[in-house]
Chain A
Amino acid sequence: AQSVTQPDIHITVSEGASLELRCNYSYGATPYLFWYVQSPGQGLQLLLKYFSGDTLVQGIKGFEAEFKRSQSSFNLRKPSVHWSDAAEYFCAVGAAGTASKLTFGTGTRLQVTL
């Protein structure tokens, strides 16, 4: 069975500082990997996704993520955080060929201090 671990429940960074959110997955074959962001009381917005090819993927709002098969990781990064980035971030893994089996991590809540 596939699974996703986001080890950090809550992270606080200063505005302008760099950010890295961790995501580790367990999946037997080549995974499809996603990062979503959720503002309070809202739905999820797709930040970026990895299916194949270049292991460094660029997303919206200046985010990027790197797929490392040897470490089963797909960490999300941003070089300079803005106060508007404060939200909850979810990593998800899916099976190639179908999107119906997305498994989500428990999320990391990001707080940004001014």
Chain B
Amino acid sequence: DGGITQSPKYLFRKEGQNVTLSCEQNLNHDAMYWYRQDPGQGLRLIYYSQIVNDFQKGDIAEGYSVSREKKESFPLTVTSAQKNPTAFYLCASTGQGQETQYFGPGTRLLVL
């Protein structure tokens, strides 16, 4: 079955540590997105990529980094510069010429 997978489901970060969240899709979609979800705030866009080897900052990119070396993969790194990383992180993708974003199951990041 085609879809978007995110791993791990839960991730724990220690003080000063960088952590990487995985997002993989087998839908042959060109565009991929990372959102952060906090209670009562909806979804906020962190980064997005419309093609391989290219990506743009979203509304809250500070403290995060991404790469897009392969069409099917768009990992998100939460760096130590992100002082409030506890949140639910959602990855999404869109096919070429399509306007609808499809979402993965999410990763919950917690700080130890």
- Judge: A and B partners, yes or no: yes
In the assembled complex, which residues on chain A have CB atoms less than 8 Å from the CB atom of B104?
43
Q: Is B43 an interface residue (CB 8 A)?
A: yes
B 31-59 to A, binary, CB cutoff 8 A, 1 in contact else 0: 10100000011111100101000001000
Shortest CB–CB separation between residue B103 and chain A, in angstroms? 4
Q: Do B42 and A32 touch (CB < 8 A)?
A: no
Chain A residues 33 to 73 lying within 8 A of chain B, measured CB to CB, are 34, 36, 41-46, 49, 51
For chain A, the count of residues having a C-beta within 8 Å of the partner chain is 24
Q: Are B100 and A43 neighbours in the complex by a CB distance under 8 Å?
A: no
Query: Does B98 interact with chain A (Cβ within 8 Å)?
Result: yes
Known: A34-B100, A100-B31. A42 touches B40 (CB 8 A): no
A99 and B94: CB pair below 8 A?
A: yes
- CB of A62 to closest CB in B, whole Å: 20
Contacts of A102 in B (CB 8 A): 45, 101
Secondary structure dominating the interface of B:
strand
* Cα A15 to Cα B25 with chains together (Å): 37
Q: Which of B6, B42, B56, B94 contacts A104 (CB 8 A)?
A: B42
**Would you call A90 an interface residue if the criterion is a C-beta within 8 Å of the partner chain's C-beta atoms?**
yes
Docked CA distance A36–B19 (Å) = 28
Does B108 lie at the interface of the complex (its beta carbon under 8 Å from any beta carbon of A)? yes
Q: How far is the CB of A95 from chain B (nearest CB, A)?
A: 9
Interface residues of A, Cβ cutoff 8 Å to B = 4, 9, 32, 34, 36, 41-46, 49, 51, 90, 94, 96, 98-100, 102, 104-107
- Lowest 4 CB-CB distances: which A-B pairs, in order? A43-B103, A104-B42, A44-B103, A104-B43
7 additional A-B pairs beyond A43-B6, A46-B102, A49-B100, beta carbons within 8 Å, are A41-B88, A42-B106, A43-B106, A49-B99, A98-B99, A100-B33, A106-B40
